Amino acid sequence: MKTPYKNIYSVLKLNRFIVLAVVVCALLSSTFSVWMVFNTNQKALNSAFAINTDGSIIPLKLVTQKENFRVEALAHLDLFHNYFYNIDASNYERNLEKALWLGNSSVDNLYRQKKADGVYNRLLQYSLVQKVLSIDSRLSENNGSYSFITTTIFEINRGSIIDTYELISTGNLITVDRNFPNNPHGLLITNYFENTLKKLNDESRKE
């Protein structure tokens, strides 16, 4: 039995349908691609950028985030150094407890060392008042990690005698979950170290 030939018009009609379908799909794909390019270009034009020191382009949003981080980091360091060094016989326990929330074990180890050395016992015994006068912190960034150098000027009031000291401390900052009111900035001080402590005389204070 011979296989009947298909109608030539049916074959041509099927071919025409396939060609039209391919053309329509190509047009839709091209239109979508053009729209995506146009939309991306419009977003780029409506976005602001900043030029980095090495000439690379940084989205302004990222710049803003870094600026916000810097503000919070400086506030965090200011808060910590005030709590840790602005102490007297009536508030030292409360202030030190707050300070320990802002740092890791390196801060706790320093606190325990000072306690073992009798620093806080002398505070109670002689009714000393340790008052922070100024805090100056400088931040540095290296591959996404932040370090700081802080200069804290404080005075110790011994009644008839007031001595002024300059403390330079260093450490790093890492991001953690915010814990209000214990850690409102969501930062933690690590590798904290008191580098130098020197007594300032009257002449150096005037300078």
Statement to judge: residues 25 and 68 lie in one domain: no
- pTM of the shown model: 0.69
In a domain, 207, yes or no: no
Q: pLDDT tens across 99-119, in order?
A: 999 999 999 999 999 999 999
- Cα 9 to Cα 178: distance, rounded to the nearest angstrom: 75
Query: Interhelix angle for 60-85 vs 92-100, to 10°?
Result: 150
Full pLDDT tens readout for the chain, 207 residues: 555 555 666 766 777 778 788 888 888 888 877 777 777 665 554 555 555 555 555 555 555 667 788 999 999 999 999 999 999 999 999 999 999 999 999 999 999 999 999 999 999 999 999 999 999 999 998 888 999 999 999 999 988 899 999 999 999 999 999 998 899 999 999 999 999 999 997 544 444
The one-character DSSP state at 32 is H
Statement to judge: residues 83 and 172 lie in one domain: yes
Q: pLDDT tens across 144-184, in order?
A: 899 999 999 999 998 889 999 999 999 999 999 999 889 99
Statement to judge: residues 28 and 71 lie in one domain: no
- Cα 6 to Cα 15: distance, rounded to the nearest angstrom: 13
Statement to judge: residues 20 and 72 lie in one domain: no
Statement to judge: residues 41 and 101 lie in one domain: no
CATH number of the domain encompassing residue 133: 3.10.450.230
In a domain, 126, yes or no: yes
Statement to judge: residues 125 and 175 lie in one domain: yes
- Cα 123 to Cα 130: distance, rounded to the nearest angstrom: 9
In a domain, 56, yes or no: no
Range of the domain at 170: 63-200
DSSP structure string for 92-149: HHHHHHHHHTTB-HHHHHHHHHHHHTTHHHHHHHTT-EEEEEEEEEEEEEETTEEEEE
Number of domains into which the chain is organized: 2
In a domain, 179, yes or no: yes
